[in-house]
Amino acid sequence: MTGRPGRRAVVTAALGVPLLAAGCSASTTGGDDAPQGPAPERIAYGPHEAQFAELTRPTGASRGVVVVLHGGFWLAEYDVSLARPLAADLVRRGWTALAVEYRRVGDGGGVPATLDDVSTALDLLADRDLADGPVVTLGHSAGGQLAVWAAARTRLERWRGAQVVPTHVVSQAGVLDLRTAADEDLGGGAVPGFLGGTPQERPEAYAWADPVALAPVEAPVWCVHGPDDGTVPIAQSQAYVRAALAAGGAATLIEVPGDHLDQVDTGSDAWARTVAVLDGL
């Protein structure tokens, strides 16, 4: 993605790489002269300023719902603006999109608060006659962890009453093996920060949140990941797929070109591969 002027707006990132600031580049938004799609409906699901979601419906019949969960190592400085270009592109392709904001570390989040928010936001679909077709959770990086977790949450006592369970899951360069991620210090301590400590200090939090520990889920899972990803290594997705298949689940690894941020560039080959997964549902 380098060498394409105007393709990204860059902010300083704790991830150790520049992060895409959504809504600022012609390639992801279509530019200022591009036709504007349907306006999103902002829905608050709690009293905190970060407890809201943006629901956008296509102009014609909907193919189903994609719940877009942004990444940023669960940190407060990264917000739903990262999800908006993906949601807008999905709406143009005929999907209803729910872009979810949630409490993050540094702003009231972490385990279990962030997980509570994702579960509650997903259940918004139950009250809007939108959960009859496919319900896909799609998440990038830390959002990949949340996307897979959402499909497993009804097995956990705290979230047993959740109403809407994903029918399909797509993880884009997801952080899916939290114990290994903590041991390898991915995100500079982001994983213990999210979970409130190391696996030894907070074993119950890892049991709640770690996709590898919760594998398999009932929904099929696609792990879209690049071998050249220097932020979240592809070994994270490989570990999840191995665990899910060994436990009798349905999981597929799709290797894509590019770096970590190509996954959230709607002009990239990596995004095209994700779209192809959705087209096949």
Q: Which CATH class is domain 38-279?
A: alpha beta
> pTM, whole model, 2 decimals?
0.89
Average per-residue pLDDT in the chain?
Answer: 89
Q: Is the pLDDT of residue 273 over 80?
A: yes
Residue 5's Cβ-count burial label (10 Å; 0-12, 13-18, 19+) is: exposed
Q: How many helices (H) and strands (E) in the chain? A: 10, 10
- Higher pLDDT, residue 73 or 4: 73
Q: CA 38, 44, 49, 51 torsion: positive or negative? A: negative
Confidence label for 175 from pLDDT (cuts 50, 70 and 90): very high
Q: Is the pLDDT of residue 229 over 90?
A: yes
Q: What is the pLDDT of residue 241?
A: 98
Nearest Cα to 270, choosing from 20, 14, 56, 46? Answer: 20
Beta strands at 10-11 and 19-20: parallel, antiparallel or unpaired? antiparallel
Q: CA 40, 144, 125, 62 torsion: positive or negative? A: positive
- Whether the bond between 216 and the residue before it is cis, its omega within 30 degrees of 0, is yes
Residue type, 245: L
Nearest Cα to 240, choosing from 121, 147, 109, 115? Answer: 147
**In the chain, domain spans:** 38-279
Mean pLDDT of the region 157-185 = 97
How far is Cα 278 from Cα 266, in angstroms, rounded to an integer?
A: 14
Neighbours of 219 (CB within 10 A): 22
